[in-house]
Amino acid sequence: MSFSSRVKEELAYQTGAAMHCRIAETAAILSLCGKITKDELERISIKVHTENLSVARKYFTLLKKTYNIECNVCVRSHMHTGKSRTYILEVRDDTAARKVLASVKMMNDGEEFAADYTKVDPLILRKACCKRAFLRGAFLCAGSISEPEKTYHFEIVCTSFERAQQICDMMKVFNIDGKWILRKKYHVVYIKEASQIVDILNVMEAHVSLMELENIRILKEMRNSVNRRVNCETANISKTVSAAVKQIEDITYIRDTVGFGELTDGLREIAQLRLEYPEASLVELGNLLSIPVGKSGVNHRLRKLSFLADELRTRG
Ligand SMILES: [Zn+2]
């Protein structure tokens, strides 16, 4: 199961205790995946389509707990297309449907339902707890989170600019800086920063998922710092190797031009050892000498040899 599905599953069971919060969450679901229809006898029905079982479960619970309405549930399988199931939850009873729509303020007193129910009436979202509930409902219906092992990305896909903006504004109340982008015909609200994704999980009250994300974040940071250290060590090794290559080049040049005859005993010995043990470190070379010297002593002699080689090159 993906991280996104796990968050949704957790949120499906997270329902506000207060009536106002449950209304706010119902409003989010209706405005993001609801469809209101009126038949020839002016009877109203509400349908919610979703491919996500968590959304279906949440909406069903909300209707039952908040309005004491049992909706009809119909499951459509798409075996032939290989797609997942679609759950269709329907409130067919006119009185019940009107009751729900009036509570979420999608229908005014004159019994006209709001032409554009994409933007939810701010009156039902005044309290902070209701904003949390709304964001939770919106994420359940139209949101997703990437696998935190790979990348940090949270988004809610909206069909109108107004709704995207409303969601961004609501996030701002919790100090979350939701960005907005147009993707094809969709208005996508997204968050890229890990710490902000942690914040939004907190706002939606997905506490188990929040802990999971934090754990992954810590592991990732540790892994990165280990990698940085390894890279640094690798860089040091390649520096050592290229230094040795240069020393061998210089020593070979001296040998092939003037020979080792002119060199002092100390220089000659280190020159021969370097050629003989190209992979040895300076400390190891120092220990191989007839009179061992330390790292800086070896370095000093090798630098003299390089200097000599450079002199020979400019002369030659
Ligand atoms: Zn509330």
Q: What is the pLDDT of residues 32-73, one digit of tens each?
A: 888 888 888 888 899 999 988 999 999 999 999 999 998 899
Is residue 214 in a domain? no
Q: Identify the CA nearest to 210 among candidates 156, 171, 154, 170.
A: 154
Q: What is the largest CA-CA distance in the chain?
A: 114
Is residue 277 in a domain? yes
Do 192 and 261 belong together in one domain?
Answer: no
Residue 17 is classified by DSSP as S
> How far, in Å, from the CA of 107 to the mean position of ligand 1?
20
Residue 65 is predicted with a pLDDT of 92
> How far, in Å, from the CA of 204 to the mean position of ligand 1?
12
> How far, in Å, from the CA of 134 to the mean position of ligand 1?
9
SS (H, E, C) 109-168: CCCCECCCCCCCCHHHHCCHHHHHHHHHHHHHHHEEECCCCCCCCEEEEECCHHHHHHHH
> How far, in Å, from the CA of 249 to the mean position of ligand 1?
77
> How far, in Å, from the CA of 280 to the mean position of ligand 1?
72
The pLDDT tens digits of the residues spanning 119-171 come to: 688 888 999 999 999 999 999 999 999 999 999 999 999 988 988 999 999 99
Is residue 254 in a domain? yes
Quick one: average pLDDT of 206-220? 92
Q: Is 86 helix (H, G, I), strand (E, B) or coil?
A: strand
Residue 113 is predicted with a pLDDT of 61
Range of the domain at 253: 241-315
Which band of pLDDT confidence, cut at 50, 70 and 90, is reported for residue 267? very high
Residue 60 is predicted with a pLDDT of 94
Residue 316 and residue 310: Cα distance in Å, rounded?
10
- Model confidence at 83: pLDDT above 70: no
> How far, in Å, from the CA of 98 to the mean position of ligand 1?
21
Is residue 291 in a domain? yes
Is residue 263 in a domain? yes
> How far, in Å, from the CA of 246 to the mean position of ligand 1?
73
Do 70 and 146 belong together in one domain?
Answer: yes
Is residue 161 in a domain? yes
Is residue 234 in a domain? no
Q: Is the pTM of this model over 0.85?
A: no
Looking up residue 173, the CATH number of its domain turns out to be 3.10.28.10
Is residue 142 in a domain? yes
> How far, in Å, from the CA of 132 to the mean position of ligand 1?
8
Do 127 and 200 belong together in one domain?
Answer: yes
> How far, in Å, from the CA of 210 to the mean position of ligand 1?
22
> How far, in Å, from the CA of 301 to the mean position of ligand 1?
79
Residue 139 and residue 4: Cα distance in Å, rounded?
10
- 254 — phi, psi (to 5°)? -60, -45
> How far, in Å, from the CA of 214 to the mean position of ligand 1?
27
- Model confidence at 181: pLDDT above 80: yes
Q: How many domains does the chain have?
A: 2
> How far, in Å, from the CA of 25 to the mean position of ligand 1?
9
Do 129 and 30 belong together in one domain?
Answer: yes
> How far, in Å, from the CA of 154 to the mean position of ligand 1?
24
- Model confidence at 110: pLDDT above 80: no
> How far, in Å, from the CA of 257 to the mean position of ligand 1?
89
> How far, in Å, from the CA of 65 to the mean position of ligand 1?
15
Do 49 and 193 belong together in one domain?
Answer: yes
Q: Where in the chain does DSSP place strands (E)?
A: 34-38, 44-50, 72-78, 83-91, 143-145, 154-158, 179-183, 186-191
* Count of beta carbons in the 10 Å neighbourhood of residue 74: 11
Do 258 and 195 belong together in one domain?
Answer: no
Q: Lowest mean pLDDT: which of 109-113, 119-123, 283-287? A: 109-113
Amino acid identity of 65?
K
Residue 11 is predicted with a pLDDT of 94
Mean model confidence pLDDT for the chain: 89
> How far, in Å, from the CA of 258 to the mean position of ligand 1?
91
